[in-house]
Structure 1
Amino acid sequence: MTQATAAPAQAAKPQAQERQVYFINAMKEGLQAAMREDETVMVLGEDVQRSVIGATRGLVEEFGEPRVRNTPISEATFVGACVGAAAAGVRPVVDLMVGSFFYVAMDQLANQAAKLRYMSGGQVELPIVYFTATGPSGSGAAQHSENPHPMLMNVAGLKIVMPSTPYDAKGLMLSAIRDPNPVVYLQDFVLGGTKGHVPEEAYTVPIGVADVKRRGTDVTVVAIGATVPRALRVARKLEGEGISVEVVDPRTLAPLDLDTILESVARTGRLVVVDSARLTCSAASEIVASVVETAYDVLNAAPQRVAWEDVPVPFTPPLEQRVLVDDDDIERAIRTTLAN
């Protein structure tokens, strides 16, 4: 009689790791997905074939020069040309490189792209995406450190998205390109090299829907762009003191998902809004005003705004840091609202 031998133990299957992708590459994946599904999507802008920042790198090899076109250094020209292209049936995606360059093309953006669908009674669709790296990047100086989103929020007819994670960056890019309206897509410079979970398949993140990045009960912090990871870092620190911070990321600034913000404030009774822009007429100012106007009775303390000083962004690193929002500013605002 032979002895039965025990079956060898099966090795545990390794857990599949989440796919980690850089923010800038997540943007490119969203753009690639749109170009693969729709041959009318084309990319143009300064140096898009080589792509210094990286969001369009490699696209010309896959899609060819007719769909990935370098332009002259003339933002007013190619921002305006895309209005005509979109009206004729193309879906242009325009890389402006730096957020400050919107100022050079404001007539084409604000008077033409933003207005034509409305003024034609919907007869003309303008599916244009204007995307750019924006905000301070470390001694970029005053002309290359702007965050123009507060000014653009005041332009009726534009949608404005500003993702804070690679996941949102990919999904919002595809949503923006599919939208029949002009969309400004802002990529915070300092987030370009951050990594996060991004599915390989194509997916969308809806425009106009905020995301609660962290649940809390004591205070709501609405953070925009690169201030989101700062707010989350401060929330983790304060958790050790028993302070529970909820962090809401609007993701879209126009249209603004005020309902999600109001629901959060109704739970916590306190509000801090953090914005990488100048304090006067900032997105932070608009959000605070809207909450106070709509839900004053649920507030247990005066809302706090955390934003830049009303000066150009300096070149020198110590002065630049003095102007910009940091973790201490966010923490101080949270403690102020909790003290009242």
Structure 2
Amino acid sequence: MIGTLSKFKSALRPIGHVNKILARNVSHFTYQPDEKSPNVDGERTKMNMFTAINNAMDIALATDDSTLLFGEDVAFGGVFRCSLNLKDKYGADRVFNTPLCEQGIAGFAIGVAATGAKAIAEIQFADYIFPAFDQIVNEAAKYRYRSGNMFDCGSLTIRAPFGAVGHGALYHSQSPEAYFAHTPGLKVIVPRGPIKAKGLLLAAINDKNPCIILEPKTLYRSAVEEVPVASYECELGKADVLMNGNDVTLIGWGTQVHVLREVAERAKNELKVKCELIDLVSILPWDRETVCNSVKKTGRVIIAHEAPLTNGFGAELAASIQEDCFLHLEAPIARVCGWDTPFPHVFEPFYLPDRLRCFEAIKKIVKY
């Protein structure tokens, strides 16, 4: 811990000015819409990410009368407005507020799903999901297995805003995906924008396994795309190759994908290095085939995520890549992650794996 703190402090010394801190804070990433849209007929309309999520839940509620949506302040639209107007449209019996009790929300959701109804439970911030941890990993994840496949709570979807937002500090900025990735029986997914958010959420709602969808909260308003109005699903467990390259494989998910896209463009222009960018999309299960095929081609890989370095999901990726691709590697696998400290407030810009840190990792790995 002491060594980590000294590294963290050393990262602060070159800046030392509030204006520079603020400048880096607002320029953490630039959102780039998806170039490829789902193969869905019909109208498309401009949506930001929270509107796309709202649209997906609207479709789910309209399609199946058993679908329930609930959580803290959900009936009022939620703190991020994802459920706006849905109570008025579908009634207080199907869209409703719960007590401020995450364990109760998860337990009730498991019970709803166990009856065969579809439960969409919102945890107001992913940081608040830990009181519900026992219900999710010991009940929801094991329900099917412990009953010998006689019973399940597969119609359960848990939504939670997660990740850095610019001012969230230690209780509103955490990335807990690795905790749940350790649990067989769950599916864990992270969208990078409105198109994926709608398709992944609808796929999760219709999946017959308990799903956790972690929504990067900083993208709720900043991410805007032309989204199909009709219902569609994005495949769970499948990664997306967003940029093709032969020199370095870059792997991220959520907001970090947009950081890595900018870094890849800079590496191409300044270093003449062509990076292959992979959005992992699905944390559990994850797309081992797509990742390893890319690494076998490039021989170099950098994994970047906002969660702390130690035991972050990047460690699982690194171990698996080493296992499958060892003879193809031209350099050690690199990870660019959050520091092993609580998530800071004013020092958030120095905590994040931003464009500068990721670009330095590319420079280092191609020179190895």
TM-score (norm 2): 0.85
Say whether residues 1:334 and 2:362 are aligned partners. Answer: yes
Distance 1:289 1:138, change over 3 A: same
The one of 228, 234, 251 aligned to 2:263: 234
Aligned to 1:7: none
Residue 323 of structure 1, CA deviation: 1.3
In 2, distance between residues paired with 1:101 and 1:90?
25
Aligned to 2:169: 141
**Letter of the structure 2 residue corresponding to residue 130 of structure 1:** I
Residue 124 of structure 1, CA deviation: 1.3
Say whether residues 1:93 and 2:144 are aligned partners. Answer: no
Distance 1:89 1:22, change over 3 A: same
4+ long deviations beyond 4 Å: none
Aligned to 2:130: 103
The one of 276, 283, 292 aligned to 2:313: 283
In 1, distance between residues paired with 2:56 and 2:357?
34
**Letter of the structure 1 residue corresponding to residue 106 of structure 2:** V
Residue 321 of structure 1, CA deviation: 1.5
Aligned to 1:179: 207
- Which structure 1 segments of 5+ residues have no match? 1-15
Aligned to 2:332: 302
Aligned to 1:83: 110
In 2, distance between residues paired with 1:295 and 1:114?
31
The one of 34, 43, 47 aligned to 2:60: 34
- Partner SS state of residue 79, structure 1: helix
**Letter of the structure 2 residue corresponding to residue 49 of structure 1:** A
- Write out per-residue CA displacement over residues 218-262 of structure 1, whole angstroms, 9 at most, x where no aligned residue: 111001111000100111122213211111001100001110001
In 2, distance between residues paired with 1:169 and 1:310?
29
**Letter of the structure 2 residue corresponding to residue 238 of structure 1:** A
Aligned to 2:80: 53
Residue 198 of structure 1, CA deviation: 1.3
Residue 19 of structure 1, CA deviation: 3.4
The one of 213, 217, 234 aligned to 1:189: 217
Aligned to 1:125: 152
- Which structure 2 segments of 5+ residues have no match? 1-41
- Partner SS state of residue 254, structure 2: coil
TM-score (norm 1): 0.92
Would the aligned equivalents of 2:44 and 2:229 in 1 still touch at CA under 8 Å? no
Residue 80 of structure 1, CA deviation: 0.7
Identity of paired residues, percent? 31
Corresponding pairs, count: 323
Residue 139 of structure 1, CA deviation: 2.4
**Letter of the structure 1 residue corresponding to residue 365 of structure 2:** T
- Write out per-residue CA displacement over residues 258-291 of structure 1, whole angstroms, 9 at most, x where no aligned residue: 1000111122111000111000011111111110
- Partner SS state of residue 144, structure 2: helix
* Bigger radius of gyration among the two: 1
Residue 20 of structure 1, CA deviation: 2.6
- Partner SS state of residue 281, structure 1: coil
Would the aligned equivalents of 1:163 and 1:169 in 2 still touch at CA under 8 Å? yes
Matches within 5 A, 1:144-183: 144-183=172-211
Residue 211 of structure 1, CA deviation: 0.4
- Partner SS state of residue 228, structure 2: coil
In 1, distance between residues paired with 2:337 and 2:43?
37
Would the aligned equivalents of 1:225 and 1:276 in 2 still touch at CA under 8 Å? no
Higher relative contact order (CA 8 A, sep 6+): 2
Would the aligned equivalents of 1:49 and 1:68 in 2 still touch at CA under 8 Å? yes
- Write out per-residue CA displacement over residues 142-195 of structure 1, whole angstroms, 9 at most, x where no aligned residue: 122111101111122110000112111010000000011110000011111111
**Letter of the structure 2 residue corresponding to residue 299 of structure 1:** L
Aligned to 2:251: 222
